[in-house]
Amino acid sequence: PARVLLSGAPHIPGSSVIEKRKYFMDNLDHIRQVLLTEPRGYPCQNLNILVPATCPEADIGYIIAEQNAIYPLFSGHNTICVATAVLETGLVPIQEPETRLKLEAPGGIIDITAKCCNGRVMEVAMTAMPSFVAKKDVVLNVPTVGKVVVDIA
Which active-site residues does the annotation give? Answer: 75
Rg (C-alpha) for the chain, rounded Å, is: 18
Q: Which residue type occupies 56?
A: P
User: How many angstroms separate the CA atoms of 131 and 40, rounded?
Assistant: 34
Confirm if 49 and 31 have CB atoms less than 8 A apart.
yes
Do residues 21 and 106 lie in contact, with contact meaning Cβ atoms separated by under 8 Å? yes
SS3 content of the chain, % helix, strand, coil (to 5): 25, 40, 40
**Residue 131 near residue 149, CB atoms below 8 Å:** no
